[in-house]
Amino acid sequence: MKRISLTIALLTGFAVNLMAVPAVPFLITFAQPDGSTFQAHLRGDETLQLD
């Protein structure tokens, strides 16, 4: 049982690191449901904060 719990804890820890990626540094074109488009920069932090 301890081995299973340890395995699950380790896999969960690795999965949290895989969810975070840096945002692309250039403009991206987004399409709206009505067909119009706009350009925007993605902003964000590539680290996960659990506060």
The residues near 40 (Cβ < 8 Å, ≥ 6 apart) are 27, 28, 30
CA atoms of 26 and 50, how far apart (whole Å): 28
Query: What one-character-per-residue DSSP string does 1-51 give?
Result: -HHHHHHHHHHHHHHHHHT--PPPSS-EEEE-TTS-EEEE-----SS----
pLDDT of residue 35: 94
pLDDT of residue 34: 96
Query: Any idea where the domains of the chain sit in the sequence?
Result: 2-40
pLDDT of residue 39: 95
pLDDT of residue 31: 95
pLDDT of the chain along its 51 residues, tens only? Answer: 788 888 888 777 666 555 566 677 899 999 999 999 999 987 766 555 554
